[in-house]
């Protein structure tokens, strides 16, 4: 098991954002966390990646207890995250942005800049390498988030909505990039709203609703799970759908 | 990695100035420019490169100035030992201020206020302690000689300042072109994103403040050698802190040539104002203020950014 989360609980004052969350990610898989808005997905990522200290629970990464470890140390261990709201180093060029991350494992400036070029190639940013990051479009910034995370040469990559806000052509371009990570031995845990992409990309889906995991399994099974349908469409929705399906079948 | 040739060229071109001019005024002015450029460079290492705006660089300048003065007057040590100790004392002061601020994640105006507070506390201490000469200050005996780092002519001080300024440029260029510079820039642009990418923000900011304080301390020690007199206001007063940040902001923060350009422009402006107003006290400060407002409003990259395409319009965008 590469990542093991158990009993994870995060409260903001009286609000419980995560309640006793448990999930696991196996090496080499692409796993996804889905759930309606406000379910606690980004909070879960923050707690796993060291940006938030959970009130209770454990996070184990590659067998080591990393609960409450600061993000920079987790990154050095090989666990890196991207931000849903992209955070480019606006005053630096795209290459310099990626090189910051590459410096984690490469002391030499030349080596870091060269690695930045190779990573940019991979996420289709090579033509913008020498441009200021502030000039990038939303799609470009999402790519830059991914590129920087990749340049840290991680074992586990947490992707927070890297496809959100992209048009279908841009999504189609990004999907193979994410799928291709597996060949490099990078395990992926992603949060995604673009359901078709989740269905196509992920091996396993965890459904987070109201701060709790309500279902998990292969994507095709999860989307038929009554608990999941109700979470998205409201109470009674699963039953109603079942009835409609039966009627349609009978007619 | 950009070559260091421009810095060598600068030093080489600046070297013969004392032979080219017979004017003591010109040489004095050039010495002040170099001194303030180095102080500005010290500020720039922390404020420009790491984005941590200090409002209390007097704390480091004054520590260096007093350290060498005290060692020479009270202990009778030579000026070289005094100079080295001044740098080390300023480094220790930098580490203290840095730890007190960065350990507790103080940023922006909070960091500026903490640095200001440290400088003010140092000023009050210097004003009341016997070892610093309290309000009377410290006077170094006039004793020209290389071991005392005192020169009989202005050229000696000019070259001393040129060495310091060149050292500052080399340090800045070295930091810019290595991993530390990349990490400082990342922390400056977005600290959380930098940490997510494995940058230990606390560690790199500590490195920046230690370099910055050490260089400011060296300028303080130079000041002691140049004027042979110190009092709490000269060493730790807010005016020093303002001088430290004014040059780099006018010239261009984060650029290695910005502090030198800014110091030159401000000193020349100060001289011009003095000449035009017939030496009205504070008139040069009014001129500085006007230039600062214009620069911040119209050229946030500083004068060094003039004529360069602006990439700042979308700074801080998110989404």
**Alpha carbon of A219: minimum distance to chain B alpha carbons (Å):** 28
ipTM of the complex: 0.90
Q: CA end-to-end span of chain B, whole Å? A: 32
We find that the CATH architecture of domain A3-86+155-217 is 3-Layer(aba) Sandwich (3.40)
Altogether, the residues listed in chain B come to a count of 319
pLDDT at position A194, please? 81
What pLDDT is stored for residue B307 in this prediction? 57
Which residues on A lie below 8 Å from B184 (Cβ)? none
Per-residue confidence (pLDDT) for residue A235, from 0 to 100: 79
**For residue B311, which residues of chain A lie inside 8 Å, CB to CB?**
90-91, 132, 134-135
Question: Among positive and negative, which fits the CA dihedral B105, B111, B115, B116?
Answer: negative
The beta-carbon neighbor of A90 closest among B197, B200, B317 is B317
B184 Cα to chain A: minimum distance (Å): 9
Q: Which residue in B198, B254, B313 is closest to A72 by CB distance? A: B198
- Please give the pLDDT value at position A232: 80
* CA-derived radius of gyration, chain B: 19
Please state, in angstroms and rounded to a whole number, the distance separating the CA atoms of residues B123 and B63. 10
Q: Which residues of chain B make contact with A108, given a CB cutoff of 8 A?
A: 179
Assess A216–B contact: CB distance below 8 Å, yes or no.
Answer: no
Domain that holds residue B110: 5-238
CB of B190 less than 8 A from some CB of A? yes
> Which pLDDT belongs to residue A245?
82
How far, in Å, CA of A118 to CA of A142, rounded? 17
Number of domains in chain B: 1
pLDDT of residue B126: 96
Give the best residue of A89, A108, A152 to mutate against chain B (max B CB count within 10 A): A89
> How far does Cα A20 stand from its chain's mean position?
20
List beta partners, residue A3. Answer: A25, A61
Minimum Cα–Cα distance from B174: chain A residue: A109
Output the pLDDT for position B199. 97
Per-residue pLDDT of chain B (319 residues; tens, 9 = 90+): 466 899 999 999 999 999 998 888 999 999 999 999 999 999 999 999 999 999 999 999 999 999 999 999 999 999 999 999 999 999 999 999 999 999 999 989 999 999 999 999 999 999 999 899 898 999 999 888 888 999 988 999 999 999 999 999 999 999 999 999 999 999 999 999 999 999 999 999 999 999 999 999 999 999 999 999 999 999 999 999 999 999 999 999 989 999 999 999 999 999 899 888 887 888 888 888 898 899 888 888 888 877 554 444 434 333 3
Residue carrying structure tokens 């050698």: B225
**How far is it, in rounded angstroms, from Cα A233 to Cα A222?**
14
- Sheet of A3-12, strands arranged across: A15-25, A3-12, A56-61, A64-65
Name the residue among A155, A93, A149, A102 with its Cα closest to residue A126.
A93
The confidence score (pLDDT) of residue B124 equals: 97
Distance from CA of B73 to the nearest CA of A (A): 45
In which residue are the tokens 């806000």 written?
A: A165
- Helix, strand, coil proportions of chain A in percent (round to 5)? 45, 25, 35
Q: What is the least distance, in Å, from the CA of B305 to any CA of chain A? A: 13
In the numeric block, which tokens belong to residue B248?
Answer: 């780099």
Domains of chain A: which residue ranges? 3-86+155-217
In whole angstroms, give the CA distance from residue B258 to residue B242: 16
Question: Cβ separation of A138 and B182 shorter than 8 Å?
Answer: no
| Contact indicator for B108, B52 with CB cutoff of 8 Å | no
| Beta pairing class for A3-12 and A56-61 | antiparallel
Q: Is B273 part of any domain?
A: no
Cβ contact A134–B186 (<8 Å): no
Quote the tokens at residue B4.
């260091």
pLDDT interval class at A250 (50, 70, 90) = low
CB contact under 8 A, B196 and A81: yes
Q: Is residue B250 part of a domain?
A: no
Which residue does chain B place closest to A71, by CA atoms?
B196
Alpha-carbon Rg for chain A, nearest whole angstrom, is 19
Scanning A16-55 for CB atoms below 8 A from B yields: 49, 51
Asked if residue B39 belongs to a domain, the reply is yes
Handedness of CA B50, B93, B61, B71 (dihedral sign): negative
Question: Each residue of A3-58: pLDDT tens digit?
Answer: 999 999 999 998 999 999 999 999 999 999 999 888 999 999 999 999 999 999 99
H helices, E strands: number in chain B: 14, 2
State the average pLDDT for chain A.
Answer: 93
Comparing CB atoms, the residue among A87, A92, A165 nearest residue B318 is A87
Query: Is the pLDDT at A125 greater than 70, yes or no?
Result: yes
CB A118 within 8 A of CB A125: no
Q: Which residues of B touch A80 (CB under 8 A)?
A: 196-198
- Domain assignment present for residue B264? The answer is no
Q: Does the CB of B183 have a partner CB in chain A at under 8 Å?
A: yes
Per-residue model confidence (pLDDT) at position B309: 47
Question: Is B3 in the A-facing interface, judged by CB distances under 8 Å?
Answer: no
Q: How many CB pairs under 8 A join A and B?
A: 108
Segment of A154-168, A220-234, B35-49 carrying the highest mean pLDDT: B35-49
Per-residue pLDDT, A44: 96
Parallel, antiparallel or unpaired: strands A212-217 and A30-34: unpaired
User: A137 CB near a chain B CB, below 8 Å?
Assistant: no
In order of B34, B111, B288, B304, the CA distances from B265 in angstroms are 12, 28, 10, 12
Q: Note the pLDDT of residue B305.
A: 76
Enumerate the residues of chain A whose CB falls inside 8 A of the CB of residue B178. Answer: 109
For A228-242, how does the pLDDT look when each residue is reduced to its tens digit (9 = 90+)? 888 887 778 878 888
Verify whether the Cβ–Cβ distance B197 to A152 is below 8 Å.
yes
Interchain proximity B193–A83, CB inside 8 Å = yes
pLDDT of residue B314: 39
């Amino acid at each position: 098991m590469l990542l093991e989360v158990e009993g994870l609980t995060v409260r903001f004052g009286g609000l419980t954002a995560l309640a006793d969350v448990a999930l696991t990610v196996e090496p080499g898989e692409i796993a996804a966390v889905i759930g309606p808005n406000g379910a606690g997905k980004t909070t879960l990522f923050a707690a796993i990646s060291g940006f938030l200290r959970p009130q209770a629970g454990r996070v184990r990464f590659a067998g080591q207890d990393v609960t409450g470890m600061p993000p920079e140390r987790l990154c050095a261990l090989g666990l890196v995250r991207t931000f849903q709201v992209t955070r480019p180093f606006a005053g630096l060029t795209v290459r310099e942005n990626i090189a910051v991350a590459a410096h984690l494992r490469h002391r030499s400036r030349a080596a870091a800049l060269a690695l930045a070029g190779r990573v940019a190639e991979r996420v289709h940013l090579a033509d913008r390498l020498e441009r200021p990051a502030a000039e990038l479009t939303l799609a470009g910034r999402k790519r830059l988030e991914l590129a920087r995370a990749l340049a840290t040469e991680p074992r586990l990559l947490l992707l927070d909505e890297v496809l959100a806000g992209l048009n279908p052509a841009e999504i189609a371009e990004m999907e193979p990039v994410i799928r291709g990570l597996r060949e490099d031995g990078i395990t992926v845990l992603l949060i995604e709203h673009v359901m078709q992409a989740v269905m196509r990309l992920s091996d396993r889906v965890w459904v987070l609703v109201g701060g709790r995991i309500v279902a998990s399994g292969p994507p095709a099974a999860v989307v038929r799970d009554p608990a999941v349908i109700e979470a998205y469409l409201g109470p009674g929705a699963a039953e109603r759908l079942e009835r409609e399906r039966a009627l349609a079948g009978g007619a | 990695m950009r070559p260091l040739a421009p810095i060598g060229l600068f030093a080489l071109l600046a070297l013969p100035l004392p032979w080219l001019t017979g004017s003591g005024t010109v040489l004095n002015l050039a010495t002040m420019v170099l001194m303030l450029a180095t102080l500005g460079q010290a500020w720039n290492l922390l404020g420009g490169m790491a984005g941590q705006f200090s409002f209390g660089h007097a704390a480091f300048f004054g520590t260096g100035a007093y350290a060498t003065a005290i060692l020479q007057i009270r202990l009778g040590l030579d000026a070289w030992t005094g100079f080295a100790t001044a740098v080390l004392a300023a480094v220790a002061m930098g580490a203290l201020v840095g730890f007190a601020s960065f350990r507790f994640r103080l940023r922006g105006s909070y960091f500026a206020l903490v640095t200001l507070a440290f400088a003010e506390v140092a000023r009050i201490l210097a004003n009341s302690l016997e070892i610093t000469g309290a309000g009377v200050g410290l006077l170094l005996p006039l004793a020209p000689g290389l071991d005392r780092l005192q020169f009989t002519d202005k050229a000696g001080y000019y070259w001393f300042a040129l060495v310091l300024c060149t050292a500052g440029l080399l340090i800045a260029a070295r930091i810019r072109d290595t991993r530390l510079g990349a990490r400082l820039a990342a922390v400056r642009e977005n600290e959380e994103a930098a940490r997510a990418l494995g940058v230990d923000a606390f560690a790199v900011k500590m490195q920046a403040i230690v370099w910055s304080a050490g260089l400011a301390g060296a300028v303080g020690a130079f000041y002691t050698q140049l004027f042979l007199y110190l009092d709490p206001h000269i060493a730790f007063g807010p005016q020093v802190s303002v001088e430290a940040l004014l040059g780099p902001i006018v010239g261009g923060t984060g650029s290695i040539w910005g502090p030198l350009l800014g110091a030159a422009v401000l000193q020349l402006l100060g001289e011009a104002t003095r000449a035009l107003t017939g030496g009205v006290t504070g008139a040069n400060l009014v001129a500085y203020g006007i230039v600062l407002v214009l620069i911040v409003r119209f050229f946030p990259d500083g004068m060094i950014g003039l004529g360069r395409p602006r990439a700042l319009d979308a700074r801080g965008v998110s989404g």
